[in-house]
Amino acid sequence: MPVWLLLLLSSFVFAVPAAFAGRRLLDDRVGWLRALVTAFVVFAACVPMAVWTLTQARVVTEAGHLEVARPVVYAFLAVIIGWMFAIVVIAIVTLEFLWPSTGFVNPVVAVREAFRGRDRAKRYAQIVAIASRHGIGLFQNRRRVSEDLPGALVAALNEAGVTFVKLGQVLSAREDVLPRELVDALSTLQMDSTPIRWAEAQTAIESELRRPLTEAFAVVDPKPLAAASVAQVHVAELHTGEEVVVKIQRPKARAQVTTDLDILGRLARDAESRSEWARDYGAVALAAEFSRSLRNELDYRIEAANTEMLRTAAAASRGVRIHVPRVYTELSTSRMIVQERVEGTPFSALTPDALPPEQARELCDGIVDAAFEQIAIRGVFHADLHPGNLILEEDGSVALIDFGSVGILEASLRRLLVPLLVGIANDDDIAVTDVVMMLCAPEAGSVDQAELQRDLGVIITRMHNSPVDGNLFSLLLDVLRHHRLALPPALLLVFRTLASLEGTLRRLVPGYDMVGHALSQAPHFARQLASPRSMMLSAQTHAALTLESLRRAPRRIENISRSLEDGSFSVRLRTFEGERERGFVESLMGQLMTTVIGIALLVTGIVMVLSYGGPMLTADVALMPFLGSIVGLGGMLLIGRALRAALLRRDG
């Protein structure tokens, strides 16, 4: 038989059992392909070393003839194969540590991921090309770019499409973060996105209606009233004579948003892994929230439900009259919504001299009253109050549009939010600190409460002495972030909404003190929450719960007395109480002992190999070094077992 064929058969005979044993050792978490390839590579690398070892030990001659008895040859071969097996196991475990297996990939999933990767690559190239075309590439003249950055950025975001226009909208209300000229430029994104052609829009509308356009509408204006980031709006008239607006989603919006959100998510994860500021600001969480919000915006059924819910809350609000347009649900779908037409001037188009100063301030106060009442009393509020979503109507009322993002604040949080506002209004840093601790519910001892109280007291004092010195809610979030405290997501959305609203109102009244006015109304909100009826109902509920607890108390007392009397009373500690906790400690100790014994055997084997005692097995190898190689092999296998346990614990 040719030597190459003999080696091939030998490698197969060795690799299959070694791969099987390696996979079983890791509970079949390693694929057959990886295990077999590793075993073949180890065999190919070790065969020349094994031949050299047998030759140097005088077991065989260079010509391949035996120099010792067959039992000695078999013993040497067994030890060599054992070491090769140990090397295979160690190599598989090490590879799994450094490069975890992903398992079998469904071909359909693999093809879909390949297409997504292709789409991401194309989109990356488009974004870079758009940025370069508008003069904000990496290698542009910095001085020229800085002179026209706002205009260039707006043009680039507009051309980049839905996701980036929406991102610009979110940033346009952050006067506390961005310079004024950039905010002014980004605010033009609210209603000034590039419209799609009427033929394309008509096709999309008829596709959603599943009938010709003329069957649903008497007239539709081909010229769009507005082109927003996700959709564009056309004025229409129903056959009943009612004037409506038809908001139709851009046909390619969803596909583009999916790719863009995937890119933003990857960039956020990469930023958190590379920079501390991204981790402090929670870039991944912010990207996830932005992604969720934008996906909700793409489903107009959610917007229709939000509109009806907010209409009820707005009808009972005090302050300025809030107009929520009616939705024609029979004509609306997930990609199209038909609403009552709202006429007026968007706040994005208002200037400080649009209204007399007193009237402008009164209007802002009324909007704040209505917004805070919806948040603190009703628990339902418009969560995207940027300037394009507020319309000043001719009769002085304020209409809201775009209900893709509506926040809900449960009663338990509202009962804490109002005391927080009252405490800030009363300059009571102790009460504010107590409320913050109840809202954030940190682990015991994880927060220095005295330092937190001092930091909160500083910003409250600054607010009372300099009302327009920064946004109070942004400063509160900065303090909480510094102390590693996390607000409930619903309350965080409230703070972000109020920061956006303040930026919107300051377009009409520069330097408007929204927080100061809201705090002056905090006692009113507190009285509304603590109405006699609600207090009576709460007292009735708690009384019923207390009575039920008292009814069960005698039985519990009797059980404790009986346990004390018969000596069976015991106190159970929760530390290592469960089987899982005990199992973790036991496995950890077992792994530690296995590692120690394995290292000890390996060291002992090395010492024995370096000694030359005992009878001679071959002309050059004594019994003691041979036994040392076996002892070292046992130690290596134990170390491999310990590595296997650590790997399974990491993946479990």
What is the DSSP code string of 275-335? -HHHHHHTHHHHHHHHHHHHHHHT-HHHHHHHHHHHHHHHHT--SSPEE---B-GGG--SS
For 586, the domain range is 581-651
Give the pLDDT score at 235. Answer: 93
- Over residues 452-481, the mean pLDDT reads 79
pLDDT at 143: 47
160 lies in the same domain as 45? no
CA dist list (Å): 613 to 236, 305, 588 = 102, 88, 38
Q: What's the pLDDT score for residue 579?
A: 62
Q: Burial of 335 by CB count in 10 Å (0-12 exposed, 13-18 middle, 19+ buried)? A: buried
Please report the pLDDT score of residue 180 as a whole number. Answer: 65
Q: What is the mean pLDDT of residues 83-106?
A: 71
Cα 525 to Cα 510: distance, rounded to the nearest angstrom: 26
Looking at the domain assignment, is residue 272 inside a domain? Answer: no
User: Is residue 23 one of the residues assigned to a domain?
Assistant: yes
Between 116-130, 145-159, 496-510, the lowest mean confidence (pLDDT) is in 145-159
User: Looking at the structure, do residues 29 and 80 belong to the same domain, yes or no?
Assistant: yes
Instruction: For residues 122 and 59, state if they share a domain.
Output: no
| Strand, helix or coil for residue 444 | coil
Q: Are residues 94 and 117 in the same domain?
A: no
Residue 254 forms part of a structural domain? no
In the predicted model, what is the mean pLDDT of residues 207-234? 88
Q: Are 358 and 399 part of one and the same domain?
A: yes
Query: How many angstroms separate the CA atoms of 165 and 290, rounded?
Result: 13
Tell whether 427 and 554 lie within a shared domain. Answer: no
Regarding whether 503 and 424 lie in a shared domain, the answer is yes
Residue tagged 């792994």 (tokens): 591
Distance CA(301)–CA(305), nearest Å, equals: 6
Distance (Å, whole) CA 325 – CA 332: 14
Among residues 60, 81, 98, which one ends one of the domains? 98
Assess contact for 508 and 360: CB atoms under 8 A: yes
Number of domains in the chain: 5
What residue type is 558 in one-letter code? E
Q: If residue 249 lies in a helix (H) or strand (E), which one and from where to where?
A: strand 243-249
Please tell me which residue, 645 or 54, carries the higher pLDDT value: 54
Answer whether residue 34 shows pLDDT above 90.
no
Q: Looking at the DSSP assignment, which residues form a beta bridge with residue 233?
A: 226, 247
Q: Where among 189, 204, 239 does a domain terminate?
A: 189
Does 136 reside within a domain? Answer: yes
- Residue-level pLDDT at 471: 67
pLDDT above 70 for 174? no
Percent of the chain with pLDDT over 90: 11
Q: What is the percent of the chain where pLDDT is above 70? A: 83
Same domain as 20, residue 155: no
Across all residues in the chain, what is the average pLDDT?
79
In a domain, 521, yes or no: yes
Residues 41, 43, 49: CA angle, nearest 5 degrees: 115
Q: Does residue 247 lie within any of the structural domains? A: no
SS3 (DSSP) at 26: coil
How deeply is 52 buried, as exposed, middle or buried, from its count of CB atoms within 10 A (0-12, 13-18, 19+)? exposed
pLDDT digits (tens, 9 = 90+) for 604-637: 888 887 777 777 777 777 778 788 888 888 887 7
Q: How confident is the model at residue 583 (pLDDT cuts 50, 70, 90)?
A: low
Contact by Cβ (8 Å): 200, 186: no
Question: Nearest-CA neighbor of 91 among 648, 643, 652, 646?
Answer: 643
CA-wise closest residue to 633 among 652, 609, 617: 609
DSSP per-residue codes, 608-643: HHH---S-BSSSS-BHHHHHHHHHHHHHHHHHHHHH
Same-domain status, 111 and 14 = no
Sign of the C-alpha dihedral computed for residues 170, 175, 177 and 179 taken in this order: positive
Q: What single-letter DSSP state applies at residue 405?
A: -
User: Are the beta carbons of 32 and 21 closer than 8 angstroms?
Assistant: no
Give domain status of residue 303, yes or no. Answer: no
pLDDT over 90 at 244, yes or no: yes
pLDDT at 144: 47
- Tell me how far apart the alpha carbons of residues 14 and 10 are, in angstroms, rounded to a whole number: 6
Question: Residue 277: its pLDDT value, please?
Answer: 66
Q: Are residues 464 and 548 in the same domain?
A: no
- In this prediction, residues 344-359 reach a mean pLDDT of 87
The first and second tokens of residue 14, run together, are 């060795």
Same domain, 386 and 518: yes
Is residue 281 a part of any domain in this protein?
A: no
Same-domain pairing of 585 and 548: no
CA dihedral over 264, 269, 273, 276, signed as positive or negative: positive
Pairing status of strand 380-382 against strand 398-400: unpaired
Q: Are 23 and 103 in contact (CB under 8 A)?
A: no
Answer with the one of 48, 80, 98 that is the final residue of a domain.
98
Listed in sequence order, the residues at least 6 apart from 154 whose beta carbon sits closer than 8 Å to its beta carbon are 168, 185, 186, 188, 189
